[in-house]
Amino acid sequence: MSRLLIIEDELNIRKFLITNLTLRGFQVEEAETAELGLEMLRREAPRLLILDMRLPGMSGWDLLELMSNDGELVRIPVIVMTASPIKLDDNPYPNVVDLIVKPVSAVDLIHAVRKVLETH
Amino acid sequence: MGEQSVRTFNAWREKFFSQLRIRLLIFIAFILLPTSLMLVIESYSQRGMALDYVQQDALQIADLAAVTQRQLIDSTRQMLVTLSNVEVVREARTAECDRLFEDLARRSPMYTNIFALLADGTTVCTGLPGTSGINGRTLGWFQESLALSMPDFYVSHYELGAATRRPVVTMSYPVLNPDGSVRLFIGASLAVDRLENYVDLSRLPENATMTILDRDGTILYRYPTMQERVGERWPTPSLVDTINQRRTGTEVSIGLSGSERLFGFTPLDPPNDSAYVVIGLDYTNVLANLNLRLIQQLVTLLLVGALSLLLGWFVIDRFLGRDVRQLVQGTERLKRGDLAARVPMTDVRKTAELRELGESFNTMAETLQRRQRELEETNMELARQVVERERAADLLAQARDFYEKQFKARTADLRFLLETSTILGSSLDYRETLNAVAKLAVPGVGDWCVIQLRDPHDPEMMHNVATAHIDPEKLVWAEEIGRKYPYDPAVQREAKTGAGHVLRTGQAELYPDITDEMLVLAAKDDQELLQLLRDVGYKSVMIVPIEARGQVLGVLTLVSTNDNKHYNEDDLGLAQQLAQRAGIAIDNAQLFEAAGVQREQLQVTLASIGDAVITSDEDGCVTYLNRVAEELTGWGMDDAVGEPLRDVFHIISEETGQRQESPHDKVMQTGKIVGLANHTLLVRRDGQRLPIDDSGAPIRGENGKIIGTVLVFRDVTERRQQEVLLNTTFEKTVDLYRVSSRLGTTMTYNEALAAIEDSKYLNGVRQIVLLMFTEPWNDVPPLEYQIKAMLHEHLNLKGNVDEVLPLDEHPLYSYFRRGEPVLITNIYDEPDLNEPHIRAVLDEMQTHSIILLPLEAGNQWYGMLKLFSSSSQGWAQDELAHVRSLVGQTALVIDNIRLFQAEQVARKEAEQADELKLQFLAMISHELRTPLTSIKGFATTLLADDLDLPAETQSSFLHIIDEESDKLSELIDQLLDLSRMQAGTLRIMPEVHNFTEVLQQSQKSLDILVRDRVLTIHPLPDPQPVLYIDLHRITQVLINLVENAAKYSYPGQPIDVRASREKDMLRIEVIDAGPGILAEHQPHIFEPFRQVHIENQRQKGAGLGLAICKGLIEAHKGRLWIAYSGEKGTNFSFTLPVIPDANISNSTTNNSVTNYQERQ
């Protein structure tokens, strides 16, 4: 079963993500900050990272920058999660494969995750 | 379209086949189908069997016929053997024999004839009278019988009888002589066509035929009788071939009747096979019968099937369909959103499964309805919050609009002035310039702009020089009014207001609102004028003087016809600046024009001066001086006559001082008119020298001989002086024009100073310093100044560029004067400048004199220009005047630069504000979305149809939704507070309370907030001060501050709340022991816009709390500030005003409040 990592600082949003993904058979790991998330990325090498961009301390962008300079981490596909709509047109990060704009419905979330897991 | 109909059809098909009834019917149909198939197959096999049966029948009949024939042949043989022993026959006694044979034939009709032939063929006796003549040798059978090696019973082939022409088979038996030779043959012909008499042909099916064919296919016999065909050939040879080949069998072929028939055949006389019995059956008929039977069976089956379907329909409908339909209807209603749909459970007939299904359905519907109600409530709540949020957004938008309008108005003014100055610097034709100004003023400042200038010859008269109207069509009309009602000095002289008044007094006039009464007053009973004035639609008017060098040159009138535009003091200021710039432009242009006019006037004047005339004789002695010549030369007529011309008219070169050749000599030599070289000086008798212009001409006698000369000359002293003056003025004007052109293009202070230095009249100037006051110097001197620019920075008296310095410490402060330049001719004469360090700098700059020029623009004195000169000669008054006008230009340019820079700063600030606003909005958006994400997330999880969540999980999700809705609501409240604060509409509802009540009110929240921090509330002052506060709001502030303290400190650390009386204020302190706020963040901590950045670093949240707290406290006339923040922690303090003399003790709060209110 595919292992996913979620980095999201808001407890309830994290809970929402984990509940939905776990109930649908995904194996999910979670991290509250980008710093903890980075550690887990290196240790667990998940199949997919769902990354909130606005985090206390190191931001999602910082983490993406760090990943893009790491030969191993850059291979992990990332779904970026943000409350402010950003364009993925000139996406400088090759591993950012999809964008979830908050608020997101359970159906859209699962759809996005499945799509990424099928194609990457 | 095709796709559409396919889709419609598919939908219909699905719907149709999904009906239970239809499905059951299809099921029955499926059961009926194999039965029908079996029936058809069965019918076909029956048909085959029937055919076989018929064939066998035919064969049997054929066989029977054959057997019967054989039996008949046998019995014939016996008969013939018997007859051969009969004497009569043996002896061939013809008469007797004939009788016997006739008798026999009559009794046995099966025989056509019985006869006896001799071996030579002669008939000896016959049973058929009339046949005795037949010779046997012509008959086939006879030949055959003879041919037999052993005479014996012989059966001939079937053939047609020779006499009867009936199909017969002839049998013969020989009667032998004792020697064995044949005596005679006895024969009998058996008639085949009598076969029906022996064979039971009634067994044949209806329409059956029997035919006997010989080997060649000749029809020998046909039943039913068809005599005419006998003897004919069978029409289908293929059947004959088949019969010959197969001997016995059946075949389908065309029969005699022409229709297709089934034929069964077998040889009649095996093994001879000379004839075949062929039974023909009506094949079509047989098949038709069979088909009819099949159809009958199928119809029966269909009837039975239809009956079963009908029965099934009713049974389903009666016993199953209605219940299922109820369920379906219930589901449909549910699907349409009618959650009240239920299946009636009263019907006892329901089967157990359906009952169970119905009950489950009802349970499900109830659950859904309940869930729907819950969701509706949640939605209502959300909708309410969204409305609140939109209101908050509206308020924010209003605040933003207001700000933007303000900013735009300000920058528009600045731009307008910049444009004006650019236009003014661009042309020296003031009419053109003023027209440009008027056009610029419309529509920026007014809808109608008129510029009138004073008549140079009549100081009371004014003329329109420029008009502009917002509507180009009305421009003509406006000019028409100007012509129709020209400026009338006589009327204006008495006027207390209006253009004439402004021209006289130089005082600007502002009329924010023009009323009809004012128009009536202005029209002075002139109805036509009044109507005209009304038509113009005056709403607001400004009239400002155009001044230059203290003189009013004209007036600028601006009219607004727009209901929304009423002029105020700001607009008047703008108009005055415009007018001032126009004044300078006019002054410059007039100055330039005047220079040209003066030069022309001189020419005219000189021309009109009477010329001096001296005549001399041919020897060069003076003969005549006119009065002018006497004056110029200093010689009287009496003295001069007879004197040599060269003495009286003593001329020298202005340049060399040497005596010039006398014109007399030149004229005498050349005989022509000569002009003197320029720069000739006449030396008067008294030695004084005069510049002159002269010419000489010969005087001719009657004979044409030159008898003398006439000299005409004039004094050009005045002209020379005029010329010098004119040149100086002209040069100054050119200088001014040059400098101001250059100034017009400058964008920085340094460039402006460099342009001034370029002036030829500032040769000795070593240093120019531009100094600006931090505030305009109007009534009181400003406190500080800044040096904005220096020409050569290494030379400076004091201070650096942009350094803010106290004005009264400026070394030259005592010399600053408004409105006039100050000249310090010799710094060594000035005791104020004797201080050693000042003197040292001045010496270093080689300064001897200083000019101080005040900079004024827009009626404001905003700075000084200091010129340090090394010239010790001082400054001529006219030079100073020139410098002054130069400075007038510079002042405007510098003001322009100031405006330009101010505009840039304002723009930058606005951009920053915009940026902050955007960040703020992004932050707000994010903060609103965070709880929304949880709400939407869990709501959609609850709605997800692929998840089966246990009730407690669902409940926990609903709790999260509830919790996040609260957060959203709180955030919206905060935003509303903030926007109200910014719009100035934050309302508090104060009542009389004390701080204990605040603590009581907030206790519950505080207990939750501080959790593992140690909250200490220190004893309150006793007696407690009475506060007039909004209890709810102050509680909110306290909670917020304690929440912050908890947020920015660590578990286990103390949080202290203290209240103390400070004069007429109650001070409340909230102190934490956290790491403190960074110094650079402290000034911005209460700003919601800036807060974003700071809060972002460590803590989440919109960071609106402190901004709102500050607003709330200020609404209470109190103050909220950071009293301390550093290593020891942070102390947030706020004060609340105490109602004097109304102390309430802690225990008797309510009573005291009552007392207080009573006293009120």
pLDDT value at B2 more than 70: no
Per the CB < 8 A criterion, the answer to whether B559 and B535 are in contact is no
A85-89, B171-175, B291-295, B811-815: which has the minimum mean pLDDT?
A85-89
**Residues B612, B628: contact at Cβ < 8 Å?**
yes
Q: How many CB pairs under 8 A join A and B?
A: 67
Of B48-62, B107-121, B261-275, B583-597, which range is least confident? Answer: B583-597
Closest CA in chain A for residue B919: A84
Structure tokens at B1110: 């500050």
CA distance B607 to B981: 82
Nearest by CB to residue A103, choosing from B932, B946, B1099, is: B932
Q: If DSSP states are collapsed to H, E and C, what string results for B562-583? A: CCCCCCCHHHHHHHHHHHHHHH
pLDDT of residue B402: 55
Encode pLDDT of B333-361 as tens digits. Answer: 877 777 777 777 765 455 666 777 777 77
* SS3 readout for B498-529: CHHHHHHHCCCEEECCCCHHHHHHHHCCCHHH
Report how far residue B289's alpha carbon sits from residue B469's, in angstroms, rounded to the nearest whole number.
114
Chain A interface mutation, best of B934, B945, B1092, highest count of A Cβ atoms under 10 Å: B934
What's the token pair of residue B602?
A: 């001189």
Does the distance separating the beta carbons of A24 and B946 come in below 8 Å? Answer: yes
Nearest to B979 by CA among B1118, B1111, B1106: B1111
Q: Taking CB atoms and an 8 Å limit, are A15 and B960 in contact across chains?
A: yes
Q: Do A16 and B938 touch (CB under 8 A)?
A: yes
Tell me the pLDDT band of B41, cut-offs 50, 70 and 90.
Answer: confident
pLDDT at position B1160 is 31
Rounded to the nearest angstrom, the minimum Cα separation between A39 and chain B is: 21
Q: Do A56 and B1099 touch (CB under 8 A)?
A: yes
Neighbours of B547 (CB within 10 A): 20
Amino acid at B922: A
Contact A23 B937 (CB under 8 A): no
Question: Whole-angstrom Cα distance, residue B594 to residue A28?
Answer: 93
Chain B: residue whose CA lies nearest to A52: B930
The residues, ordered by sequence, that sit 6+ positions from B364 with a Cβ below 8 Å of its Cβ are none
Whether the CB of A106 is below 8 Å from some CB of chain B: the reply is yes
Chain B within 8 Å of A9 (Cβ-Cβ)?
yes
Q: Give B1103's contacts in chain A (Cβ within 8 Å).
A: none
* Rounded CA separation B695/B670 (Å): 14
pLDDT (tens digit per residue) in B1005-1059: 888 888 788 889 898 888 888 999 999 999 999 999 998 888 888 888 899 999 9
Q: Do A106 and B935 touch (CB under 8 A)?
A: no
**Of B14-23, B646-655, B867-876, B1065-1074, where does the model show the most confidence?**
B1065-1074
Q: Which of A12, A54, A109 sits opposite B960 (nearest CB)?
A: A12
Residue B261 has φ and ψ, to the nearest 5°, of -140, 165
Q: Which residue has the tokens 């939905």?
A: A20
Partner B contacted by A105 (CB < 8 A):
yes
B938 to A107: CB separation less than 8 angstroms, yes or no: no
- Which tens digits make up the pLDDT trace of A60-81? 989 999 999 888 899 999 999 9
Q: What is the average pLDDT across B941-970?
A: 89
Q: Inspect the interface and report whether the beta carbons of B943 and A13 lie closer than 8 Å.
A: no
Task: Retrieve residue B523's tokens.
Answer: 């029209």
Task: Answer yes or no: do B933 and A9 touch at CB < 8 A.
Answer: no
Q: Work out the percent of chain B whose per-residue pLDDT is above 70.
A: 84
Rounded mean pLDDT of A76-92? 79
Residue B933 has pLDDT above 70, yes or no: yes
What is the model's pLDDT at position B1038? 93
Residue pair B552/B460 in contact (Cβ under 8 Å)? The answer is: no
Q: Which of B462, B710, B736, B690 is nearest to B585 (CA)?
A: B736
> DSSP for B981-1026?
HHHT------EEE-HHHHHHHHHHHHHHHHTTSEEEEPPPPSSBPP
The beta-carbon neighbor of B941 closest among A19, A56, A84 is: A19
d(CA B404, CA B1137): 36
Question: How would you label B865-876 residue by residue, b for 16+ Cβ within 10 Å and e otherwise?
Answer: bbbbbebeeebe
Burial class (CB in 10 A: 0-12, 13-18, 19+), B178: exposed
Is A86 near chain B, with CB under 8 Å? Answer: no
**Which residues in chain A touch residue B920, judged by CB atoms under 8 angstroms apart?**
none
On the question of pLDDT at B1136 being above 90, the answer is yes
Of A103, A104, A107, the CB nearest to B944: A107
Distance CA B1094, CA B291 (A): 101
| Own/partner pairs, B727-732, CB within 8 angstroms, 24+ separation | B728/B878, B729/B595, B729/B598, B730/B595, B730/B599, B731/B760, B732/B761, B732/B878, B732/B882
Cβ(B903)–Cβ(B418) below 8 Å: yes
CB contacts, 8 Å: B946 with chain A = 24
Inter-chain residue contact A104 with B933, CB threshold 8 Å: yes
Contact A10 B944 (CB under 8 A): no
Q: Which pLDDT does position B605 carry in this prediction?
A: 44
* DSSP string over B710-726: EEEEEE-HHHHHHHHHH
Residue B1148, pLDDT score: 40
B706-715/B680-683 β-pairing: unpaired
Q: CA-nearest residue of chain B to A15?
A: B934
Phi-psi region of B698 (alpha: psi -120 to 50; beta: other; left: phi over 0): beta
H or E element at residue B99: helix B94-107
**What's the average model confidence in pLDDT over B541-559?**
85
Of B991, B951, B795, B816, the residue nearest B370 (C-alpha): B951
CA distance B354 to B351: 5
Residues of B with CB under 8 A from a CB of A: 922, 925-926, 929-930, 932-938, 940-941, 943-944, 946-947, 949, 960, 963-964, 1098-1100
Contact A10 B947 (CB under 8 A): no
How many CA within 13 A on the CB side of residue B287?
A: 6
Cα separation, B1022 vs B543, whole angstroms = 66
Dist. CA B749–CA B1069, nearest whole Å: 51
pLDDT for the residue A77: 93
Q: Of the ranges B473-487, B548-562, B792-806, which is most confident?
A: B548-562
Residue B265 phi, psi dihedral angles, 5° rounding = -140, 155
**Strands of the B448-454 sheet, one edge to the other:** B462-469, B448-454, B551-560, B540-548, B509-511
Query: How far is A26 from B643, CA to CA, in rounded Å?
Result: 138
Dump pLDDT digits (tens) for B1075-1084: 888 887 787 7
Check whether B792 has a pLDDT greater than 60. Answer: yes
Mutation to test the B interface, candidates A13, A53, A82, most B Cβ within 10 Å: A13
Report how far residue B587's alpha carbon sits from residue B579's, in angstroms, rounded to the nearest whole number: 12
Contact B944 A17 (CB under 8 A): no
Contact state of A104 with B937 under an 8 Å Cβ cutoff: yes
Higher pLDDT, A88 or B963: B963
For chain B, say whether A83 makes contact (Cβ under 8 Å).
Answer: yes
Classified as helix, coil or strand, B767 is strand
Which among A13, A17, A83 is the nearest to B926, CB-wise? Answer: A83
Give the model confidence (pLDDT) of B974-1012 as tens digits.
888 888 887 778 888 899 999 999 999 999 888 888 878
Whole-number pLDDT of residue B695: 78
Q: What angle do CA B831, B833, B834 make, to 5 degrees?
A: 65
Q: Name which of B926, B936, B949 is nearest A54 (Cβ-Cβ).
A: B926
Confidence at residue B179, expressed as pLDDT on a 0 to 100 scale: 82
